[in-house]
């Protein structure tokens, strides 16, 4: 036992708090309780559990603090932001815990370790870094996690239950459950006990799971499509995205894409000729625009603009659906063919690249695709129009991020990564040209992939995962950060395979009990079409796409669209029906 009058006694607890529970006298405990009360009076959002110890020599400057029972904060620790811990958590001497940090039960943080749940913006080269806005995604640590000394954990990281992080590591991506990681950047070295399900597999094991999935999807494809078909009174009918929804132009095209991908034919019950005739009839002969449908399946009037938010995607989905069916648009896309180079630049300059980079990428995608369809019909655009599109994108890509637009303080990199996918898909990918800054693009996409708000399995959507997978696939030939990309692809692939719902396909958003019944969580044609393509891209990044027995040929095709046409390759596709 220590003597409470011994001046060395407080220092013992400050730097070695684990002695407090066995050696503290009544006076030591009374002094600690008074200190804790003083802390709680100073912070409205403070709560300290039973038998905790906080060194008076720690800099506790939190806006919110919740310590679970039997937790301690040692001398020299520096805490800001919001910290919430479970029971038996420890913050050892000189550790730094800043931003929004959540610890589970039994988390041990070594001396001189830093959990930094915030980041400085640095994208604007003309503004000093310290003057640029800060972002914070938060750090989440699971139960029974041991973090060694001198570790750095960056913002947006999730460390799952039972993980161990070796001393001196720099953690730049999520740590799986029961993984033992170390290094800069930290990598999985081994596992505590048997590897978790899905982690012990070799590439061959993963290939087997992909083959089993693809066989299931093929066997159920007709049922997935049939549940979304609404027969018409005249013997025809229309597809809806999901049962109970209205008919849309996109739903007809998604059905064509799914049937082609999995079955090598047009979707039942209508014949390919019937579906070709319908899609071609929907095109306005004067503008080339395909108008939207109302709830009764009747077409709405088209506008006078080259394309609108309501009709722009139809240039993509209808064009590719017709191509898969062995046909093409009935008329040139006149509204786009009329654009001069000056018109293109004027439109691009007027787009809200800072406020809504996804919409801007969508616009570039639509324009690039529309010009491509005209070229496939040997209808040339106005002189310099296509060059103006590529030239503007090349000269306005951020050399630091490789993207267009600026990350958002609220949404992180998601809007600009998603906008990059759309803009690059319809231009560089579709025309077979390299993107401006491939390595910077990889850095940005991998950084975004660490944001658990968009990549945690229960929060995934088809858009958000496709917008990660496709840019990484598009830049794969650089070999840059290849090992990290393969690891991420395998992780996201394992998640994606679990989203399939037997007989119904994929929902746009990953299933979760808290969102059951919401429109985006209902399996349908859009989700199925997108996730099938995502799975191929992830599998190809992981080196096992051959196990699927399919390769996208439509709107998400990996090859440039100007290389050949699907009308000349339908015999090859039909051969897949015997697989």
Mean pLDDT of 298-318: 88
Does 395 lie in the same domain as 430?
yes
Which pLDDT does position 573 carry in this prediction?
34
ω into 326 cis (within 30 of 0): no
Q: Which of 170, 191, 212 is the last residue of a domain?
A: 191
> At 306, which CATH number?
1.50.10
Which pLDDT does position 517 carry in this prediction?
65
Does 184 lie in the same domain as 320?
no
Which pLDDT does position 92 carry in this prediction?
95
Which pLDDT does position 208 carry in this prediction?
86
pLDDT-wise least confident of 8-17, 461-470, 527-536, 549-558: 8-17
Which pLDDT does position 308 carry in this prediction?
85
Mean pLDDT of 553-568: 74
232 within domain boundaries: yes
Q: How many domains does the chain have?
A: 2
- Average pLDDT in the chain: 89
Which pLDDT does position 569 carry in this prediction?
37
Which pLDDT does position 2 carry in this prediction?
40
C-alpha distances (whole Å) from 202 to each of 472, 473, 490, 495 are: 22, 21, 11, 16
Which pLDDT does position 110 carry in this prediction?
94
Q: Is 159 helix (H, G, I), strand (E, B) or coil?
A: strand
1 within domain boundaries: no
Does 171 lie in the same domain as 222?
no
Residue 576 has pLDDT above 90, yes or no: no
The model carries a pTM of: 0.66
Does 240 lie in the same domain as 134?
no
Residue 527 has pLDDT above 60, yes or no: yes
Tokens (6 digits) for 169: 């590591």
**Strongest mean pLDDT among 8-17, 33-42, 351-360:** 351-360
d(CA 351, CA 331): 28
Would you state the torsion angle of the CA atoms of residues 56, 60, 61, 65, taken in this order, to the nearest 10 degrees? -130
Q: Which residue has the higher pLDDT, 519 or 248?
A: 248
198 within domain boundaries: no
Marked catalytic residue, from 19, 33, 112, 120: 120
196 within domain boundaries: no
Per-residue buried b or exposed e for 455-464, using 16+ beta carbons within 10 Å of the residue's own CB: bebeebbbbb
Does 432 lie in the same domain as 334?
yes
Does 218 lie in the same domain as 152?
no
3 within domain boundaries: no
Rg, the chain, Cα only: 28
Residue 578 has pLDDT above 90, yes or no: no
pLDDT-wise least confident of 145-149, 355-359, 457-461, 567-571: 567-571
4 — pLDDT class (breaks 50, 70, 90):
very low
d(CA 368, CA 338): 14
Q: Is 448 a catalytic residue?
A: no
Per-residue 3-state assignment (H helix, E strand, C coil) for 32-46 = HHHHHHHHHHHCCEE
Mean pLDDT of 161-170: 92
State which residues form the domain around 207: 203-578
Does 225 lie in the same domain as 172?
no
Residue 482 has pLDDT above 70, yes or no: yes
Q: Encode pLDDT of 86-135 as tens digits.
A: 999 999 999 999 999 999 999 999 999 999 998 887 778 888 888 888 88
1 — pLDDT class (breaks 50, 70, 90):
very low
Does 360 lie in the same domain as 225?
yes
DSSP string, 263-301: HSSPPSSS-HHHHHHHHHHTB-TTT--BPPB-TTSPBPP
Which pLDDT does position 177 carry in this prediction?
87
Q: Which residue has the higher pLDDT, 123 or 359?
A: 359
Strand pairing report for 179-182 and 187-191: antiparallel
Q: Which of 143, 162, 191 is the last residue of a domain?
A: 191
Which pLDDT does position 404 carry in this prediction?
97
Does 58 lie in the same domain as 112?
yes
Mean pLDDT of 344-361: 96
572 within domain boundaries: yes
Does 170 lie in the same domain as 277?
no
Does 140 lie in the same domain as 243?
no
The single-letter DSSP state of residue 554 is S
Percent of the chain with pLDDT over 90: 73
Q: Which of 165, 191, 217 is the last residue of a domain?
A: 191
Which pLDDT does position 153 carry in this prediction?
96
**Strongest mean pLDDT among 6-10, 278-282, 517-521:** 278-282
Does 314 lie in the same domain as 173?
no
Q: Encode pLDDT of 226-244 as tens digits.
A: 999 999 887 789 999 999 9
| Residue (of 175, 179, 174) closest to 189 by Cα position | 179
Tokens (6 digits) for 16: 């070695």
Q: Encode pLDDT of 373-400 as tens digits.
A: 999 999 999 999 999 999 999 999 999 9
ω into 269 cis (within 30 of 0): yes
> Which secondary structure element, helix H or strand E, spans residue 140, and what is its range?
strand 139-141
Q: Encode pLDDT of 428-468 as tens digits.
A: 999 999 999 999 999 999 999 999 999 988 889 999 999 99
Which pLDDT does position 567 carry in this prediction?
41
2 within domain boundaries: no
Would you state the torsion angle of the CA atoms of residues 528, 326, 367, 527, taken in this order, to the nearest 10 degrees? 0
> At 166, which CATH number?
2.160.10.10
């Amino acid at each position: 036992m220590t003597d409470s009058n011994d001046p060395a006694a407080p220092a013992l607890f400050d730097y070695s708090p684990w002695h407090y529970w066995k050696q503290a006298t009544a006076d030591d405990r009374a002094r600690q309780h008074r200190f804790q009360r003083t802390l709680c009076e100073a912070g409205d959002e403070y709560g300290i559990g039973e038998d905790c110890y906080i060194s008076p020599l720690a800099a506790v400057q939190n806006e919110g603090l919740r310590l679970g029972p039997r937790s301690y904060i040692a001398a020299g620790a520096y805490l800001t932001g919001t910290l919430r811990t479970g029971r038996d958590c420890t913050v050892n001497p000189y550790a730094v815990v800043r931003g929004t940090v959540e610890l589970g039960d039994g988390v041990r943080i070594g001396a001189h370790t830093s959990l930094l749940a915030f980041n400085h913006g640095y994208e604007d080269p003309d503004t000093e870094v310290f003057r640029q806005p800060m972002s914070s995604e938060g750090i989440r640590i699971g139960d029974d996690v041991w973090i060694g000394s001198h570790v750095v954990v960056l913002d947006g990281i999730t460390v799952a239950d039972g993980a161990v992080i070796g001393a001196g590591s720099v953690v730049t991506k999520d740590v799986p459950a029961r993984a033992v990681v170390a290094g800069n950047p930290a990598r999985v070295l081994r596992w505590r006990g048997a590897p978790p399900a899905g982690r012990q597999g070799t590439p061959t094991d993963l290939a087997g799971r992909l083959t089993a999935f693809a066989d299931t999807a093929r066997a159920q494809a007709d049922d997935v499509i049939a549940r979304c078909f609404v027969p018409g009174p005249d013997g025809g009918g229309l597809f809806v995205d999901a049962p109970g929804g209205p008919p849309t132009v996109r739903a007809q095209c998604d059905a064509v894409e799914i049937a082609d991908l999995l079955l090598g034919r047009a979707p039942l019950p209508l014949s390919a000729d019937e579906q070709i005739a319908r899609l071609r009839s929907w095109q306005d002969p004067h503008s080339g625009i395909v108008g939207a449908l109302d709830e009764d399946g009747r077409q709405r009037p088209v506008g006078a603009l080259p394309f609108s938010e309501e009709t722009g995607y139809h240039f993509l989905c209808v064009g590719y659906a017709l191509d898969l069916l062995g046909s093409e648009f009935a008329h040139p896309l006149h509204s786009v063919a009329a654009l001069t180079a000056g018109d293109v630049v004027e439109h691009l300059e007027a787009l809200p690249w800072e406020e809504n980079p996804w919409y801007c990428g969508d616009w570039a995608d639509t324009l690039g695709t529309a010009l491509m369809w005209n070229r496939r019909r040997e209808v040339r655009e106005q002189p310099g129009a296509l060059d103006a599109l590529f030239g503007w994108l090349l000269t306005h890509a951020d050399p630091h991020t490789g993207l267009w637009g600026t990350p958002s303080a609220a949404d992180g990199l998601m809007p600009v990564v998603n906008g990059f996918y759309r803009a690059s898909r319809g231009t560089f990918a579709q025309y077979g040209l390299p993107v401006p800054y491939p390595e910077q693009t990889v850095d940005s996409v991998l950084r975004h992939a660490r944001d658990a708000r968009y990549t945690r399995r229960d929060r995934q959507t088809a858009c958000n995962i496709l917008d990660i997978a496709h840019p990484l696939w598009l830049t794969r030939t650089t070999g840059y950060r290849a090992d990290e990309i393969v690891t991420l692809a395998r992780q996201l692939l394992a998640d994606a395979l679990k989203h399939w719902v037997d007989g119904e396909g994929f929902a746009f958003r990953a299933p979760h009990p808290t969102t059951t019944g919401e429109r985006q969580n209902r399996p349908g044609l859009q989700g199925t079409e997108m996730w099938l393509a995502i799975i191929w891209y992830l599998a190809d990044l992981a080196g096992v796409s051959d196990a699927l027995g399919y390769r996208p040929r439509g709107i998400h095709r990996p090859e440039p669209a100007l290389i050949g046409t699907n009308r000349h390759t339908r015999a090859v596709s039909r051969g897949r029906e015997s697989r």
